[in-house]
Amino acid sequence: MSSKTPPGRLHTYKYARAAVTVDAVVFGVAPDGLKILMIKRNEFNPDIPAGEQAFPGHWALPGGFLDVGESLEHAVARELREETGMKDVYLEQLFTFGDPDRDPREHVVDVAYLALVRPNDYVLSTTDKESDAQEARWFPVDALPDKVAFDHRKIFATGFKRLKAKVRYAPIGFELLPQEFTLKELQSIYELILERKLDPRNFRKKILSSGLLQDTGAKKAGTVPRASVYRFNKDEYERQTRLGINFEI
């Protein structure tokens, strides 16, 4: 949350400049559905000028201000770590939001990033005492909290739209599952994202013919008949990507 200026990098300008923030739109799949990660901003503090406190007590996407001399990629990874405890998350740039009125404190341009994770791989926590986040929590994508800060509903909607589009040409569903899974579990991921049912026979035919799955030879206990267990063939995906082959569902 700090604004650090490296030695020798202090600049002054004749005209005012907009500030820059970064936010992370992080999706994950839980047993009860597709989730979005949000943080709760600190409650109003009477010891801090009201004009410096934006949306106290509201929920927001993890993120914060870019430090001078810091890259966007480093900033979003740092903010995600400080506000949620999540580390080593792959993030790709989503969109830039520049409405002059999106932040009541000043003109702030926001660069949003998209991430897909397995929630069970992380323990959520706020690690920075100076952070304006007091809690991190997963919410169903169709049940966001009532009080959402800034334009983060719009940013979330943009991320969800990108996710729905990308799932049709890239096997991103694998990033939301354990390393080993059944075809039914994989299909359920696609149905959650696309918000519609898929024909099991057509899905099975398409996914198996892609060459992107490796049959582990194991069977899933508790399924009748016992379902085959697969893992994602990353090498084959990278080969097809180099050849320009699109994965479509």
Q: For 193-215, how does the pLDDT look when each residue is reduced to its tens digit (9 = 90+)? A: 999 999 999 999 989 998 889 99
Same domain, 30 and 140: yes
Q: What was the pLDDT predicted at 132?
A: 81
Query: At which of 166, 199, 231 does a domain end?
Result: 166
pLDDT digits (tens, 9 = 90+) for 18-52: 999 999 999 998 888 899 999 999 988 888 888 88
What is the value of pTM for the model shown?
Answer: 0.86
Q: Do 58 and 128 have their domain in common? A: yes
Which residue, 147, 166, 185, sits at the end of a domain?
A: 166
Choice between 48 and 78, residue whose per-residue pLDDT is larger: 78
Indicate if 84 and 118 belong to the same structural domain. Answer: yes
Angle at 102 between CA 65 and CA 37, to 5 degrees: 60
User: What CA–CA distance (Å, rounded) separates 158 from 95?
Assistant: 8
Domain count for the chain, please give it: 2
Contact by Cβ (8 Å): 83, 128: yes
| Residue 180 located in a structural domain | yes
- The pLDDT value recorded for residue 61 is 98
Element (H, E) at 172: none
Do 149 and 79 have their domain in common?
yes
The crossing angle, in degrees rounded to 10, of helices 183-194 and 152-166 is 130
Catalytic residue among 70, 135, 175, 236: 135
Quote the percentage of the chain above a pLDDT of 70: 94
3-state class percentages of the chain: helix first, strand second, coil last, to nearest 5: 30, 25, 45
| Predicted local confidence at residue 152, as pLDDT | 98
26 and 148: one domain? yes
Based on the domain organization, do 178 and 150 belong to the same domain?
Answer: no
Q: Higher confidence at residue 12 or residue 181?
A: 181
CATH number at residue 216: 1.10.10.10
SS3 call for 226: coil
249 located within any domain = no
Q: How confident is the model at residue 234 (pLDDT cuts 50, 70, 90)?
A: confident
76 and 180 fall within a common domain? no
Mean pLDDT score of the chain: 89
Q: Is the pLDDT of residue 145 over 60?
A: yes
Digit-coded pLDDT (tens) for 161-194: 999 998 877 777 778 888 899 999 999 999 999 9
Distances (CA, A) of 229 to 58, 112, 182, 199: 42, 35, 5, 20
- Within 10 angstroms of residue 248's Cβ, the number of other Cβ atoms is 10
- Which DSSP helix (H) or strand (E) runs through 132? none
pLDDT bin (cut points 50, 70, 90) of residue 10 is: low
Residue 70 is among the residues annotated as catalytic for this protein: no
Give me the domain span that covers residue 32.
19-166
Distance, C-alpha 42 to centroid of its chain: 22
pLDDT > 90 fraction of the chain, expressed in percent and rounded: 61
